[in-house]
Chains A and B, each alone.
Chain A
Amino acid sequence: MIPTPVAALGLFGEAFQFVFQGQEAATGGVTVGGTGQVLDLAGKQLEVTLLALAVSIVLALPVGVFLGHHGKGEFVAVSAGNAGRAIPELALIALMAAAVGVGLFNLVVALAILGIPPILTNAFVGIRQVDRVSVEAARGMGMTDGEIIRKVELPLAVPTIMGGVRTSAINIIATATIAPLAGILTLGDFIISRNVYGDAGVLAGAILVALMALALELTLAGVQWKLTSPGLRIRRAE
């Protein structure tokens, strides 16, 4: 049944076929995989990721920028980043599902817990790193605090802030892969429910998750490039 060129690729060929044509479930009966289900689960993974990333940015960015601008709370802002890295993703998702409950809202909360620390820390550090001379000059020109943040500090802090957003995005999309444990079926379902999808499904899931994470990272790198003021782009290239 498998065309020869595909069979020659071994498990990779089967994974390819799983994505585009689907196959019978290992448990028998129904057909699993195929573009329909793949797009469904990929869409879910993207939705969950973007939701959690948006929540993280909305909660962490203003706080980080505020603290950085006023030079307050350095210990909290920097410790948050360190502590966030130590949270075991699997335990977090499992505990959320077992103790609080499954479902989209709880999952997004859990993912945002992972997403907030890098954004908070980098926003603080990014704003703080801005040359005080530039800030003083802006103040001397009569800019208000709000104007200094928007016109001086934020543009200069874009690379650091976006670094935090990208770290956060990678953590979130990676952890969204185990979202099926919390009752939300993402591409990770292909990986986790091997008893249904078989090894071809597992490999297909792994390839799709990897491609999706890389695509997200490239997109955010593009966003960073767009947000960086042209003058700074040249300086960074030197």
Chain B
Amino acid sequence: MSDPLAGPGWLLGAAAPSDFFRDRSDGGCIQENKLFCPDWAIDNIDRYTDPTLQHLVLVFSAVAAGFLIAFGLAVLAHRHRALSSPFLAATGVLYTIPSIAFFFLLLPITGRGALTAIIALTAFTLQIIFRNITTGLRNVPPEVTEAARGVGLTPKQILWRVEIPLAMPEIIAGLRVATVSTVALATLAVFANGGGLGAEIVSGSNITFKTGIIIAGSIAILMAITFDALLLLTGRLLAPWKRVEA
């Protein structure tokens, strides 16, 4: 690649890399790089185990960290209303910066790797979760908190026993949006050397292997749907009096 303006040279390599040629019985499906080669998929499905697990770790760590931070910020903003706007603005900036740019803004600080990817993905989730928690807390009817005060609950008890349980549907809705988006975004972690399913899409120096793209993309979509369904169920368990809306 002597001319940088010619674009990423590895785009131009048409054939799949040699480590994909484990299957020889599909009548040239792989050699011809057809849209989807089921025989190859069945023979090679084990190569997706590790990337899938890495992907799970990326998503779980980012959403868990994002939830803890956003929860803390939301409780603070609920207590001191003046903090609400600056928190919203700060998390808004973190949300707006594209994750792939965020990975490399962190480059001089955390280098390359899963940690960098997790930090950037966490930053992305903050606004979504923060917004939903504050909305949920704000929507608790004042009569309810008044009544709680009337029966002698302290502000702390009101928060944990009344306001947070009543805000649960919104909190879970925020977690669902954040989690599903993060599963999709985490495919980009490959650019930060963070592993995950993206590593099976931009495999080595090649992005033209269609079957691989479809398998990795499908696993990511299935993962998003599964997380979404699990959170929906959790929401129903935690707030049985109310249907959770996305």
Contacts and interface: CB of A to CB of B under 8 A. Distances in A.
17 contacts: A12-B108, A30-B4, A32-B4, A78-B246, A86-B221, A86-B224, A88-B201, A89-B185, A94-B207, A98-B208, A191-B104, A202-B104, A203-B105, A206-B101, A206-B102, A207-B101, A209-B100
A30 B2 contact: yes
Interface string B207-246: 1111001101100110011001000000000000000001
B7 A183 contact: yes
For the complex of A and B, 6 pairs with smallest distance between CB atoms: A91-B217, A174-B98, A206-B104, A86-B224, A209-B101, A90-B187
Given A30-B3, A86-B183, A192-B8, A95 B217 contact: yes
B62 interface: no
A7 to B, nearest CB: 14
Contacts of B201: 88, 90-91, 94
A176 to B, nearest CB: 9
B185 A95 contact: no
Interface residues of B, number: 53
Interface stretch (A51-59, A127-135, A210-218): A210-218
A191 B187 contact: no
B101 A213 contact: yes
B1 interface: yes
A99 interface: yes
Interface residues of A, number: 55
A27 interface: yes
Contacts of B184: 85-89
Contacts, number: 160
Given A82-B180, A88-B183, 12 more contacts: A32-B4, A88-B221, A89-B184, A90-B190, A91-B213, A94-B202, A98-B213, A181-B8, A189-B7, A193-B7, A193-B8, A206-B102
Interface of B: 1-5, 7-8, 11, 33, 35, 92-93, 95-105, 107-108, 177, 180-181, 183-185, 187-188, 190-191, 197-198, 201-202, 207-210, 213-214, 216-217, 220-221, 224-225, 228, 246
Contacts of A170: 95-96, 98
Contact of B198 (A90, A183, A193): A90
Contacts of B105: 203, 206-207, 210
B104 A177 contact: no
Interface string A94-120: 110111001000000000000000000
Contact of B93 (A97, A203, A207, A214): A214
Interface string A1-40: 0000000001110000000000001011110100001000
Contacts of B11: 97, 102, 180-181, 183
A197 interface: yes
